[in-house]
Chain A
Amino acid sequence: MVDAWLYIGLFLLVGIVIPGMAIMISWLVAPRKPNPVKQSPYECGVETVGESRVQFKAQYYIFTLVFLVFDVETVFLFPWAVALGKLPLFVALEGIVFILILVAGLVYAWRKGMLEWV
């Protein structure tokens, strides 16, 4: 198994080196003539007002929170799905119970208006 992951590790290395090389080549041949106007943040020609890293709507955070819960859930479900074929029926149903509990959570969040953007 470690052999397979050694390959993944090497692939990660190659996958970093190839695009890295593209940037290196371009760094070698491309001109470099920076000036303040060229480097100013692009806002369609209008001067930037205030800080560029602006604050964000809380909704982004809330949706990510909901996502996190379901992400963890699906991770639990993968071993269950792999083993499903070898399980007796009532044991398989426990996975369904697991899903149902969380679908209830989704319905609750929905009813409370958490899935609304505005």
Chain B
Amino acid sequence: MTPLQLVFLLTAALTLVAAFRVVTTRNLVHAALWLVVTLFGVAVLFVLLNAPFLAVVQVVVYIGAIAVLFIFAIMLTRREMRDQGAQLNKGWWAAALVSLLTFGGLFWLTRSWDGFTRTAAPLPTGQDTLSALGKALVSPDAFVLPFEIASVLLLAALVGAVYVAYREK
């Protein structure tokens, strides 16, 4: 086992444990904090995949903005932070079945995919991946349409937020 694999396994384990705690912990703020740990673990995984830009974006957007948004939302909506009710409701077996089926399906689909065993081609050295990404985002023969649509999507999110928050004065 190479050190890189060891780091991967530790990070993956941490991410999974944290994700599990997000669901099981009874304190909502703790759940949000465990979510931060999960997201940080994912950022480390991005680094291991040689995608530093995505790793940094993961921290900036998910930890810096979305986790903060979650914590604000929790503080707004609930006065009582500690949930005393049952954690499972009557439909738990159906949810478990669906999750199991989804997991099984994904497992079955990816089982035969050779991407797991094949060694990825090394990245061409000396190439500025960020610059290449930037070019790809705005080049007409690449991803300019998704890029602009992303902008419209963000606009829609903003308008939606305005609508939710809007009060007749």
Taking a contact as CB atoms under 8 Å apart, the answer to whether B165 and A55 are in contact is: no
Q: Looking at the complex, which one of B69, B76, B159 makes contact with A56 (CB distance below 8 Å)?
A: B76
A101 CB contacts on chain B under 8 angstroms: 148, 151-152, 154-155
The dominant DSSP class at the B interface is helix
A115 to chain B, nearest CB (A): 10
Contact with B along A78-108 (1 / 0, CB 8 A): 1111111011000110110110011011101
Given A1-B50, A53-B81, check contact A109 B76 (CB 8 Å).
no
Q: Is the CB of B166 within 8 A of A114?
A: yes
- The answer to whether A83 and B159 touch across the interface, beta carbons within 8 angstroms, is no
- B138 A87 Cβ-Cβ under 8 A: yes
- A61 and B72 contact, Cβ closer than 8 Å, known pairs A2-B4, A73-B154, A91-B139: yes
Quick check: A105 and B155 within 8 Å, CB to CB? yes
Q: Give Cα A70 to B70, complex, Å.
A: 17
Binds A, one of B31-39, B53-61, B108-116: B53-61
Total residues of chain B contacting the partner, CB 8 A: 49
Question: Sorted from nearest, which 5 A-B pairs have the closest CB atoms?
Answer: A83-B134, A79-B134, A105-B158, A79-B133, A101-B151
Sampled A-B contacts (17; CB under 8 Å): A9-B44, A51-B79, A53-B81, A65-B165, A72-B65, A75-B61, A79-B130, A79-B133, A83-B130, A87-B134, A91-B144, A94-B148, A97-B151, A101-B151, A102-B151, A109-B158, A114-B166
9 extra interchain contacts, Cβ-Cβ under 8 A, other than A65-B165, A76-B150? A73-B151, A75-B57, A78-B134, A82-B131, A83-B135, A95-B138, A98-B151, A108-B159, A114-B166
A residues at B contact (CB < 8 Å): 1-2, 5, 9, 51, 53, 55-56, 58, 60-62, 64-69, 71-73, 75-76, 78-84, 86-87, 91-92, 94-95, 97-98, 101-102, 104-106, 108-109, 112-114
